[in-house]
C-alpha cells in the first residue's frame, strides 16, 4: 500500500475570508439567510427521508447527501438563466437547491404518483428540466457525457451559459468521464465538472481507488484548467465555483473543480460497513469542525445577517416542511397500473390523433 500522498492546495490564497470575496460580499442578508435555509432544508429533508426509509416506506437505495450540502447549495446559487446542472445518484440536495419541492421529492422516494417522476425514477432519478436540472443519474459517471452535451447545446445555439456536471470521487476512474474530459477540452465546451470528493467511492477510500489522489490534477492530462477547494464553507464553494463558471461562460472552456467534502452517512443507507472502512473519530471530527450548517450559522451570526431566533425559526420551518412532505407522500396514491406504459415514447404519449403505426409494446 503506497503512503498517502500530499494533497495539493488550492490555487487561490488559502487564508482568504471567503465571505469577503466579491461574489459573496454583495449578498444581502436575505440572500445569506436563503443559503442557510437551503442547506438546512436539505439536511432536515434527508433526515426525514431516512426515518421513512428505516420504517420501510421508501424502497430501493437512499444515498444521503448529509455533510455535503454546501456544495450543491453554493453552486446552484450561482446559476444564471442559461446555466444547467446534472448530477449522479446522490441527487436530493441538488434537487432541493434548484427549487424542487420537498413534496414532489419525498413522494418520488415513496414511489407515488405525485412524485417528480410519478414514481418511475425513485431516489436516484430526480429531474426538473424547467429548472435546468437534468437528473439524477444512477450509473457512476454516466451523467458526465450528458453534462458535456448540455453545454455543447449552449455553444451550438450561441447561448452564453454553462453546465455544471457533478460527480463523485469514485466517478473519476470511469472511462466515460476520461473520454468526456478529452472531448470537452478538444471542442471548447463550457462545462464545469465538480468532483464532490467525499473521500470514499462506496467503501473504498481514495487512497485505495485512485493512483493520483489529487483528482483535479487529471485535468492537466487534457489541458483543462482546474482548482481545488473545501466544501464545508458555502462561501468558499461560491467563490471557486464562480471563477470556474464565469470562465466557462466567458471563454467557452471547460473547468475541473475538485471540492473536498464529506458524507456523514454510508454510501447508501444499506451501507452497514461505513463505520468499519473509516473511524468514528473521523466522522465526528468533521461534524465538529466542518459541519456546513454550523460553519454557515457561525459566519452569519458573526456578520449580523442571522440571529439565533432567525436560525431557530428557519429550522422549525424546514423541519415542518419535511414532515409535511412525508405526510403528503404517505397520503398520495401510487400511479395506476396503466402508467407503467406511459412516458416510454414521446411519440406515443403525444399521439393525440392516434396516427402512429405499428406495435410499440409487446405483452400478450
Partner 1 sequence: MPLITYREAIKQALAEEIEHDENVCIMGEEVAQYNGAYKVTEGLWEKYGDKRVIDTPISEAAFSGLAIGASCLGIRPVVEMMFMSFSYVAIDQLFNNASFCRYMSGGLMNVPIVVRGPANGGTNVGATHSHTPENMVANHPGLKVVCPSNAYDVKGLMKTAIRDNDPVFVMENTLLYGEKWEVPEEEYLIELGVANILREGSDLTIVAHGRCAMIALKAAETLQAQHGINVELVDLRSIRPLDEETILNSVKKTGRALLVEENKPFCGVDAQISHLIQLKAFDYLDAPVHRVSAIDAPQIYAKPLEDWQIPNEERIIEGALKCLA
CA 268 → CA 63, 85, 200, distances in Å?
4, 22, 12
> CA-to-CA distance for 166 and 255, rounded, in angstroms?
12
CA 282 → CA 90, 201, 220, 271, 289, distances in Å?
21, 16, 31, 17, 11
> CA-to-CA distance for 309 and 18, rounded, in angstroms?
25
Name the grid cell of 207.
487512497
Residue 78 in contact with residue 35, Cβ under 8 Å?
no
Instruction: Give the shortest CB-225-to-partner 1 separation in angstroms.
Output: 19
Say how many residues make up the chain. 364
Residue 49 in contact with residue 265, Cβ under 8 Å?
no
Stretch that binds partner 1, among 4-12, 46-54, 113-121, 296-304 (CB under 8 A): 113-121
Instruction: Give the shortest CB-129-to-partner 1 separation in angstroms.
Output: 5
The reply on whether position 336 binds partner 1 by CB under 8 A is no
Burial of 50 (0-12, 13-18, 19+ CB in 10 A): middle
The reply on whether position 351 binds partner 1 by CB under 8 A is no
* Site string (163-202) toward partner 1, x via CB under 8 A: x-----------xx--xx-xx--x----------------
Stretch that binds partner 1, among 39-47, 223-231, 288-296, 353-361 (CB under 8 A): 353-361
Contacting partner 1 (CB under 8 A), which of 67, 149, 170, 190? 149
Contacting partner 1 (CB under 8 A), which of 146, 202, 283, 334? 146
CA 239 → CA 13, 20, 256, 258, 289, distances in Å?
12, 10, 14, 13, 21
Q: Judged by CB, which is closer to partner 1: 77, or 144?
A: 144
The reply on whether position 80 binds partner 1 by CB under 8 A is no
Q: Judged by CB, which is closer to partner 1: 147, or 231?
A: 147
CA 202 → CA 199, 252, 278, distances in Å?
9, 34, 11
The reply on whether position 103 binds partner 1 by CB under 8 A is no
Contacting partner 1 (CB under 8 A), which of 127, 235, 255, 328? 127
Residue 21 in contact with residue 241, Cβ under 8 Å?
no
Contacting partner 1 (CB under 8 A), which of 71, 76, 79, 116? 116
The reply on whether position 64 binds partner 1 by CB under 8 A is no
Contacting partner 1 (CB under 8 A), which of 41, 74, 121, 190? 121
**158: helix, coil or strand?**
coil
Residue 107 in contact with residue 139, Cβ under 8 Å?
no
Residue 278 in contact with residue 285, Cβ under 8 Å?
no
Stretch that binds partner 1, among 58-66, 112-120, 293-301, 318-326 (CB under 8 A): 112-120
Contacting partner 1 (CB under 8 A), which of 67, 147, 190, 254? 147
**154: helix, coil or strand?**
helix
Contacting partner 1 (CB under 8 A), which of 9, 25, 29, 139? 139
The reply on whether position 342 binds partner 1 by CB under 8 A is yes
Chain positions contacting partner 1, by CB under 8 A: 84, 86, 115-121, 125, 127-130, 134-139, 142, 144-154, 156-157, 163, 175-176, 179-180, 182-183, 186, 342-347, 349-350, 356-362, 364
Amino acid at each position: 500500500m503506497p503512503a498517502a500522498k500530499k494533497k495539493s492546495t488550492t490555487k487561490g490564497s488559502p487564508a482568504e475570508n471567503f465571505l469577503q470575496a466579491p461574489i459573496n460580499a454583495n449578498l444581502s442578508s436575505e440572500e445569506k439567510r436563503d443559503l442557510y435555509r437551503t442547506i438546512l432544508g436539505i439536511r432536515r429533508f434527508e433526515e426525514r427521508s431516512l426515518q421513512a426509509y428505516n420504517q420501510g416506506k421508501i424502497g430501493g437505495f437512499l444515498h444521503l447527501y448529509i455533510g455535503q450540502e454546501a456544495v450543491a447549495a453554493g453552486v446552484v446559487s450561482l446559476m444564471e438563466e442559461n446555466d444547467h446542472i446534472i448530477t449522479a445518484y446522490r441527487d436530493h440536495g441538488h434537487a432541493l437547491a434548484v427549487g424542487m419541492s420537498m413534496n414532489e421529492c419525498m413522494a418520488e422516494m415513496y414511489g407515488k404518483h405525485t412524485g417528480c417522476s410519478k414514481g418511475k425514477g425513485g431516489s436516484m432519478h430526480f429531474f426538473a428540466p424547467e429548472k435546468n436540472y437534468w437528473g439524477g443519474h444512477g450509473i457512476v459517471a454516466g451523467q458526465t457525457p450528458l453534462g458535456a452535451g448540455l453545454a455543447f447545446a449552449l455553444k451550438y445555439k450561441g447561448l452564453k451559459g454553462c453546465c455544471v456536471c457533478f460527480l463523485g470521487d469514485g466517478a473519476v476512474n470511469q472511462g466515460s468521464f476520461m473520454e468526456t474530459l478529452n472531448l470537452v477540452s478538444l471542442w471548447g465546451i463550457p462545462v464545469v465538472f465538480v468532483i464532490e470528493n467525499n473521500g470514499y467511492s462506496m467503501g473504498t477510500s481514495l487512497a485505495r481507488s485512485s493512483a493520483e489522489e489529487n483528482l483535479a490534477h487529471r485535468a492537466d492530462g487534457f489541458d483543462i484548467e482546474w482548482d481545488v477547494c473545501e466544501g464545508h464553507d458555502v462561501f468558499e464553494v461560491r467563490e471557486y465555483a464562480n471563477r470556474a463558471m464565469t470562465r466557462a461562460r466567458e471563454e467557452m472552456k471547460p473547468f475541473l473543480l475538485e471540492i473536498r467534502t464529506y458524507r456523514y452517512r454510508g454510501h447508501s443507507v444499506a451501507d452497514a460497513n461505513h463505520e468499519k472502512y473509516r473511524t468514528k473519530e473521523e466522522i465526528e471530527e468533521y461534524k465538529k469542525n466542518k459541519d456546513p450548517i454550523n460553519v454557515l450559522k457561525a459566519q452569519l451570526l458573526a456578520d449580523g445577517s442571522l440571529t439565533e431566533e432567525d436560525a431557530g425559526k428557519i429550522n422549525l420551518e424546514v423541519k415542518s416542511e419535511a414532515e409535511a412532505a412525508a405526510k403528503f407522500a404517505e397520503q398520495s396514491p401510487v400511479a395506476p397500473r396503466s402508467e407503467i406504459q406511459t412516458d416510454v415514447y414521446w411519440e406515443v404519449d403525444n399521439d393525440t390523433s392516434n396516427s402512429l403505426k405499428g406495435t410499440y409494446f409487446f405483452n400478450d
